[in-house]
């Protein structure tokens, strides 16, 4: 059997009960086949970027998984769908968004999956929670560059 791969998943939600949706998703990710949640960040609140609607709740999880990257994405999308995710238009408000940020050291550039996630480096709501659980993965200069984006720890 293949060795487990360390991967990072960004969680976000801004419709319904977003904090509950993120917490539920953390449990569901840990219940995926051949997958466990190693650690996860605090929950954060962020204003929508290029989008509208209520504030987001965001977090990042580190997982260890034996699923390949495409199957992991498929399983994450099933969790989104079960949470009521709809895609009426780009950047629409959503009940749950699960993005695969990193999958080991893999670089993937297919139509359905790009890893590292191509926009992760510009987003405080990804970089700050990622730096909380894996500081070595986020260069300080990159964190500084997004520090102007409003992001607060959720109590």
97 binds Ca ion (CB under 5 A): yes
The DSSP result for 109-147, as a single string, is: E-SS-EES-TTGGG-HHHHHHHHHH-GGGS-HHHHHHTT
Residues 39-98 that bind ligand ATP (CB under 6 A): 73, 87, 91, 97
Q: Dihedral of the CA atoms 39, 80, 53, 111 (nearest 10)?
A: 100
115 binds ligand ATP (CB under 6 A): yes
| Structure token pair of residue 10 | 């960004």
The residue among 78 and 140 lying less far from ligand ATP, judged by its C-beta, is 78
Residue from 69, 72, 99, 151 that binds Ca ion (CB under 5 A)? 99
80 binds Ca ion (CB under 5 A): no
The residue among 56 and 138 lying less far from Ca ion, judged by its C-beta, is 56
The answer to whether the CB of 73 falls within 8 A of the CB of 113 is yes
- Active-site hit among 3, 55, 74, 94: 94
Q: Is 107 a catalytic residue?
A: no
Coil/strand/helix, residue 19? helix
Residue from 32, 100, 124, 128 that binds ligand ATP (CB under 6 A)? 100
The answer to whether the CB of 97 falls within 8 A of the CB of 125 is no
Q: Give me the residues that bind ligand ATP (CB under 6 A), please.
A: 73, 87, 91, 97, 99-100, 112-115, 117, 119
């Amino acid at each position: 059997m293949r060795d487990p791969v360390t991967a990072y998943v960004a969680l976000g939600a801004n419709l319904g009960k977003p904090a509950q949706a993120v917490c539920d998703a953390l449990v569901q990710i840990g219940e995926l086949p051949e997958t466990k949640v190693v650690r996860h960040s605090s929950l954060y609140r962020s204003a929508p970027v290029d989008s509208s609607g209520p504030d987001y709740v965001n977090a990042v999880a580190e997982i260890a998984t034996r699923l390949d990257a495409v199957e992991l994405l498929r399983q994450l999308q099933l969790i989104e769908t079960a949470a009521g995710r709809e895609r009426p238009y780009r950047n629409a408000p959503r009940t749950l968004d699960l993005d695969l940020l990193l999958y080991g050291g893999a670089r993937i550039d297919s139509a359905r999956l790009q890893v590292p996630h191509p926009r992760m480096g510009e987003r405080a709501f990804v970089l700050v929670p990622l730096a909380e659980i894996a500081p070595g993965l986020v260069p300080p200069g990159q964190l500084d560059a997004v520090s102007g984006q409003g992001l607060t720890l959720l109590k």
